[in-house]
Amino acid sequence: MFQGASAINLDVKGRMLIPSKHRDALKTEQGLRATLTKNPDGCLMLFPQSEWEIFSEKIAKLPMEAHWWRRIFLGNANEVEVDGSGRILISPELRSSAGIEKEVILLGMGTHFEVWDANTYAVKEQIAISQGMPEALRQFNF
């Protein structure tokens, strides 16, 4: 289960270092691999291959009225390989779609990660906090 946040700087080629504590989860028989795709919230999602297979199967089964969502998730998916230095390359297209330039937040979301532009994440987090807890959480005991 992925959890926690890591502040990471992309290098000049758009490569992001995967924290060593998470690399083992990306191991496959073919090496260290993962899949990156768009998230409609304005970030990217990074899946280990086993979780990507589960997610992509669910998306592929969506009804025809969700065809654009299949395009967003599956059509923009990029398989990435972790290099010898523990980095993945985020394509220019995906960086642009998420507004990612240099500083990113890698956020563990249980089965996958979200990759956010650090400034965008900070703004959206403050907006969420300022709006108060949603009804679904008001009865939740912490």
List the chain residues with pLDDT less than 70: 30, 142
pLDDT of 141 reads 73
Exposure b/e, 100-131, CB count within 10 A at least 16 = b: beeebbbbbeeebbbbbbbebbeeeeeeeeee
pLDDT of 133 reads 85
Mean of the per-residue pLDDT values for the chain? Answer: 93
**Rounded Cα gap, residues 9 and 17, in angstroms:** 8
Closest by alpha carbon to 44, among 32, 56, 35, 57? 35
**Domains identified in the chain, total number:** 1
CATH number for position 82: 3.40.1550.20
pLDDT of 89 reads 97
Give the residue numbers spanning the domain of 39.
5-138
